[in-house]
Amino acid sequence: MIEKHIFQTWHTDKLDPTIQARIDKFKKENSTYTYKLYLDADIDSFVNTNYPGEIADAYNRLNIIVAKADFWRYLVLYTYGGVYVDIDSNIEKPLNTLIRDEDEAIITYEMRPGVPIAYVQWALIFKKGHPILKKTIDMIVDNIKTNKYPNNILNMTGPIVFAEAVQAVHMELFQEKPPEIDSAIDKTYNKNGISYRIYGVDYNGHLSFKNLSEHSLLHPTGNTYWHKQKKPLLKGGKRRKRNHRTKRRRRLFTSTSRRRTRVTYL
């Protein structure tokens, strides 16, 4: 059974009334779930308290908050289990209409141009200690230790490394790639004590991705701290120089597919 916790993170708990009302609504509809909003200092404290050593060392090398938030979401679910959802995304229907008692993880496809197989990472649903989360965490630690993807958050800590972890676990268990994207799929895989359910695309409407109308409410005029951070991804690193074509690809990618509300400069 997946534990009944909901986690979010943002840099302030003083949210616009429109956003707070949306959150209060899904909290009321999921009254059997605990809810916690972690601030930036909270996620730092959580990681360093619960994962001293190699994991905290890797986390503390991250220089951009969105990468820290990526890493933290896997760790908090690995520790407690439950549901993580981005602050600008939403739980549209009661979770008991999606999550079954026997579920240990729900993985859903994401339609992303140019990426053959992608899985939603703006919302995650896992039982604590799940091996897919462990694989993701291990891969991120290795990515950071070797600086495998300089200044590439998507690969270093974000949805791409998560997708690689899902595919790696599935391949190890079944010696084949996961099935192709299909909104009708609802299949539970279970082998060697590892269980996960692959379900539709974008949770088939049970959760929703990025409400664009709330963007200005999360980023008031003049508040650029979370909106644009021109920093190296790792402390002590240097930013790569980008040519015009690279910048254009980045703009197209972030505007049409991957949500990076908390940082737009990768």
3-state secondary structure 119-187: ECCCEEEECCCCHHHHHHHHHHHHHHHCCCCCCCHHHHCCHHHHHHHHHHHHHHHHCCCCCCCCCCCEE
Which CATH number fits the domain that encloses residue 100?
A: 3.90.550
54 in a domain, yes or no?
A: yes
Give the pLDDT of residue 114.
Answer: 64
| Domain range for 57 | 5-256
pLDDT at 253: 36
pTM: 0.86
Mean per-residue pLDDT pooled into runs of 10, the chain (266 residues): 97 95 98 98 98 98 95 98 96 98 97 76 98 98 94 92 97 94 94 97 94 78 53 73 42 38 35
Q: Is 189 within a domain?
A: yes
Is residue 144 in a domain? yes
| Element of type H or E holding 20 | helix 17-29
Within a domain: 261:
no
What does the block give as tokens for 67? 């990468």
Q: Does the residue 263 lie in any domain? A: no
| Residue 230: predicted pLDDT | 64
In a domain, 262, yes or no: no
266 domain-assigned:
no
Does 90 reside within a domain? yes
Strand 34-38 to 5-9 pairing:
parallel
Provide the number of structural domains found in the chain. 1
